[in-house]
Amino acid sequence: MGESTLAGQFFDAAIGLLERVRDEEAASIAAAGTAIADTVAAGGRLFAFGAGHSSLAAQEVVYRAGGLALMNLLAVPGVVGVDVMPATLGSALERVDGLASAVLDTSPVRSGDLLIIVSLSGRNALPVEMAMNARALGLSVIGVTSVAYAAGGTPSRHASGTYLKDHCDIVLDSKIAIGDAELTAEGVAAPFAPASTVVTSALMQATMAAAVGELAGRGIEPPLLRSGNVDGGHEWNGRVMSEYADRIFYRR
């Protein structure tokens, strides 16, 4: 293990969580990679959604060097970051019934597409409703969440009393403890050092890697983006974006 400084303790905690996720979620990650590959091969489109800090993991795989060009961000105004003012409005919007339905109805999603929903607690109305409605529209849904919230009795904020995990085709459990803070220290009143962004981002990238491997194994060229800071990157990306223009929405 690392040194006993608080910084070292955080690295140890994050590494421990990453090892747990790698070992315990391997089958689910493989299944999620297969589902993404199935969608790509069938001509479907890929979307990712997250609210608040969970949106960081969704954004991690959109228009990303080394990432799948077909992954689009399903944005809900006011909840995709902390840039909305006041920042607390984003948290309030996550609890609004009907918002997810309105977003899906006005988005480009259609039957046969795939949506990844990232929500640490999985308890708020927005991600629960998003998953329910997306499946009703014929989308495959992958949920990235911490099952600990539901298992620990943290009440759902959706009218159904259910959680994100209850409305997904595949669930990736981030293993993050309730409260999302890995450390405590003498003289510090609140726990601190959240690890959810590290772990959920790793889950997302592991899933993308599984999808790339699955596509390649089928003889399908994975539609990947290259870094624009590498010679030839812009030309490569232009070709990929042109070839898949009808399935990329972040350029419109």
pLDDT per residue over 211-247, tens digit each?
999 999 999 999 999 999 999 999 999 999 999 999 9
* Confidence band for 159, pLDDT divided at 50, 70 and 90: confident
Q: Is the pLDDT of residue 187 over 80?
A: yes
Please indicate whether residue 192 or residue 125 has the higher confidence score (pLDDT).
192
Higher pLDDT: 231 or 161? It is 231
- Give the pLDDT confidence score for residue 72 in this predicted structure: 97
Give the tens place of pLDDT for each residue, 63-105.
999 999 999 999 888 787 777 778 787 777 777 777 888 899 9
Question: Can you tell me whether residue 62 is helix, strand or coil?
Answer: coil
Q: What pLDDT sits at residue 83? A: 73
Please give the Cα distance from 127 to 158 (Å, whole number).
Answer: 9
Per-residue pLDDT reduced to its tens digit, 8-31: 999 999 999 999 999 999 999 999
DSSP bridge pairs for 114:
46, 140
Within 13 Å of residue 111, how many CA atoms lie on the same side as its CB?
A: 3
Q: With 70 as the cut, is the pLDDT of residue 202 above it?
A: yes
Helix locations, the chain, DSSP H: 6-24, 26-41, 54-59, 88-93, 99-105, 125-136, 148-151, 196-217, 233-243
Place of tokens 């995990």: 165
pLDDT at 92: 77
Q: Taking a C-beta distance cutoff of 8 angstroms, is the pair 224, 67 a contact?
A: yes
In percent, the amount of the chain with pLDDT more than 90 equals 79
Averaged over 135-149, what is the pLDDT?
Answer: 96
In the β-sheet with 170-173, what is the strand arrangement from edge to edge? 71-73, 46-50, 114-118, 140-145, 170-173
Rounded CA gap, 233 and 231, in Å?
Answer: 5
In this structure, what token pair is assigned to residue 185?
A: 């220290």
Nearby residues of 87 by Cβ (< 8 Å), 6 or more positions away: none
pLDDT band at residue 1, thresholds of 50, 70 and 90? Answer: very low
Q: What is the pTM of this model?
A: 0.94
Q: Which residues face 250 on adjacent strands?
A: none
